[in-house]
Amino acid sequence: MSVLVVVDNPEDWPLAIPEVSVIAARLYLTDPAYGGERALRLYNLCKSYRYQSLGYYVSLLAEARGHKPLPRVSAIEDLQSQNLVRLMTSGLDELIAKSLMPIKSEEFTLSIYFGRNVAARYHILCRHIFDLFQAPLLRSLFVRKDGAWHVRSVKAIAAADIPPHHHDFVVEAARKYFAGPLPRPRHRRNSRFDLAILHDPDNNNPASNKKAIIKFEKAAQSLNIRTEVIGRSDLGRLSRFDGLFIRDNTFIEHYTYRFSRRAAAQGLIVIDDPDSILRCNNKVYLAELLSRHGIPIPKTLMVHRDNVQQIIPTLGLPCVLKQPDSSCSLGVSKAESADELDALVIDLLEKSDLVVAQEYLPTEFDWRVGILDRRPLFVCKYFMVPGHWQIIKRESEQNDYQDGVVLALPLEEVPPQVISIALKAANLIGDGFYGVDLKQMGSSYCVIEVNDNPNVDAGNEDSVLKDALYLEVMSVFARRMAKRREPLP
């Protein structure tokens, strides 16, 4: 496979890299010969990647031609938003602190050349940042604030920005990178698609237990989909896959969101997609969305510092307080008294300018409707933990917990209103995989929340459909991945 470096003007190209063809961006974009060549690895080193610039179009057309460019358009888009850059690098805090510990100044600039730096001690950090943004030449600025290092920016740079005394190193780094094998999915010829399943084996309360992961893999295999269980260190490998199935608990400031965001930007089929994670993980958004569309919800008050005194007159006691990004019973509390309420509100308002307060509706169980691709997949009753008011009882903020009994029911035995209300709520979010929780009070129902990434555990949610549940999920992936490969009309 030949290597092609595309630059604005080869006459201004300062690096002499052996056995590498260097051509002008305009030539690549306009010469039909390059449009017909298939076995090509392209490195876009234009001066600018801004929207609709030559550099932008080089990567855009390279992807259309199947040339596997570096950087891809998704990486270019990621680098345009420094807020997104800081979010995506937030998982590197420990590595950054360790790597920059000897630095005495308050700012530090790190040059990243094909995943390397002239100082070997920064190679690991460089590789992680390179895996995140996949641009050949990067420059990252770090600042020290309150004694801790933070990423201020990561930007792509042009070859002209490389200091002359770094040229020899960059040539060698590029030569080694170009000489390396192009990462390829294993057994690609024997499978229609490749699916990554994101799973954390150290999480003792994940979205799917180990037996369920195995069942998902067997179902995928029956559809000629190769699966690989990946972890939080595999972000840079996502481009090898056609789809990503997240089977760990999702949060915004969490590695799962970074994976979802990167996979979606690279065009993978993702469940759950970043928009679903954003929408379902914010209880303020959900309460507003459901209320606006007439979905029944518990009596709710958006609490801020100026209306705390309205909670008891509006909702009574006890009432439930929710941190906007609460999940899996974390960040959800019940206030039994006025004093307890005051303490909880003060604590929550320190973390967020808005807090969701809702009336307390005691029930023996919650309904959970699993919805995928806008269709009901399973329905369960999640019973409360004995002696507790929730379906999960947390012993600590970590992994110690106790959960209630789960009873799966055939769809035909479920009250029709439960399914219809759940579908209306989930359809407001998207067409991903959702778990809609409802409470039943007599003959009326209300939605408690819509969860992305719902639990599917062997022995619980699959008790009615058995292996057919896993096959249905994998079939959705197969259909979507096949549709994505269809040529445009």
pLDDT, tens only, 251-275: 877 889 889 988 887 789 999 998 8
- Answer yes or no: are the C-beta atoms of 304 and 353 closer than 8 Å: yes
pLDDT tens digit sequence for 335-353: 999 999 999 999 998 888 8
pLDDT for the residue 328 = 56
Mark the ranges of the chain whose per-residue pLDDT is less than 50: 181-189, 398, 488-489
Give the domains, in start order, of the chain with CATH numbers: 2-179 (no CATH), 188-272+476-485 (3.40.50.2300), 299-359 (3.30.1490.20), 365-465 (3.30.470.20)
Alpha carbons within 13 A on the beta-carbon side of 155: 12
pLDDT 10s digits, 443-476: 999 999 999 999 999 999 999 999 999 999 999 9
Q: Does pTM surpass 0.85?
A: no
Q: Which residue has the tokens 């993702």?
A: 270
CA–CA distance, 262 with 164 (Å, rounded to integer): 34
Query: Residue 388 and residue 386: Cα distance in Å, rounded?
Result: 5
CA angle 173, 131, 234 (to 5 degrees): 130
3-state secondary structure the chain: CEEEEEECCHHHCCCCCCCCEEEEHHHHHHCHHHHHCCCEEEEECCCCCCCCCHHHHHHHHHHHCCCCCECCHHHHHHHHCHHHHHHHCHHHHHHHHHHCCCCCCCEEEEEEECCECCCHHHHHHHHHHHHHHCCCEEEEEEEEECCEEEEEEEEECCHHHCCHHHHHHHHHHHHHHHHCCCCCCCCHHHCCEEEEEECCCCCCCCCCCHHHHHHHHHHHHHCCEEEEEECCCCHHHHHHCCEEEECCCCCCCCHHHHHHHHHHHCCCEEECCHHHHHHHCCHHHHHHHHHHCCCCCCCEEEECCCCHHHHHHHHCCCEEEEEEEEECCEEEEEECCHHHHHHHHHHHHHHCCCEEEEECCCCCEEEEEEEECCEEEEEEEEECCCCCCCCEEECCCCCCEEECCEEEECHHHCCHHHHHHHHHHHHCCCCCEEEEEEEEECCEEEEEEEEECCCCCCCCCCCCCCHHHHHHHHHHHHHHHHHHHCCCC
Separation of alpha carbons 384 and 367, rounded Å: 11
Q: What is the pLDDT of residue 394?
A: 65
Sheet harboring 107-113: ordered strands across? 107-113, 137-145, 148-156
Give dist(CA 163, CA 292) in Å, integer: 57
For the beta sheet containing 225-230, the strands, ordered from the edge strand earlier in sequence to the opposite edge, are 225-230, 193-198, 243-246, 269-271
Beta strand 2-7 with 40-44 is parallel
Pick the closest to residue 166 from 205, 116, 210, 215 (CA basis). Answer: 116
Interatomic CA distance for residues 417 and 139, integer angstroms: 55
Integer CA distances (angstroms), 390 to 207, 328, 330, 448, in order: 18, 10, 11, 12
